[in-house]
Amino acid sequence: MSDTTPRAVLDALDERDGHVCAWLGYDTGRLVPQHRQGGMGGRRGKHRLSNVVWLDSILNGEIETSAELQAEARRRGIKISGHADPEDEPIVHAVHGRVRLLDDGTYRKASDVPDVVDGWKVSS
């Protein structure tokens, strides 16, 4: 399996979210597709639409090097466990708010998402 995100997934990502960072809420000119489960190599289902968001490339690098930003990325659902199903993991998304992203390119408002995710209070 390729590490390159397929063009069809990127097009569907733009359709779902617009071309904006899931964390910042705008196009920084440096957006990269972020796989919420992360990791290197060909994970089965890596390119599922529920697993991909746009993220600023500089912010992504900072998340990788800062324990505090890693914790915040997990709290927001930008980063999730490699064992989780991305459709089941809520995300605090700058465009959509608190949602669950679905593989069909839609999302479900997360009224069923608790106010606390991984021990962090989620602000609406």
Q: What is the pLDDT of residue 44?
A: 67
Residue 38 lies in a domain: yes
Average pLDDT value for residue range 63-71: 95
Counted residue by residue, the chain has a size of 124
Tokens of 32: 């990269």
Residue 66 lies in a domain: yes
Single-letter residue type at 63: I
Residue 24 lies in a domain: yes
- Mention every residue, 6+ apart, whose C-beta is less than 8 A from residue 92: 75, 76, 77, 98, 117, 122
Number of compact structural domains in the chain: 1
Query: Domain range holding 48?
Result: 7-121
Which pTM was predicted?
Answer: 0.83
- Residue 50 scores a pLDDT above 70: yes
Torsion sign, CA atoms 63, 112, 121, 84: negative
Nearest by Cα to 53 from 1, 92, 108: 92
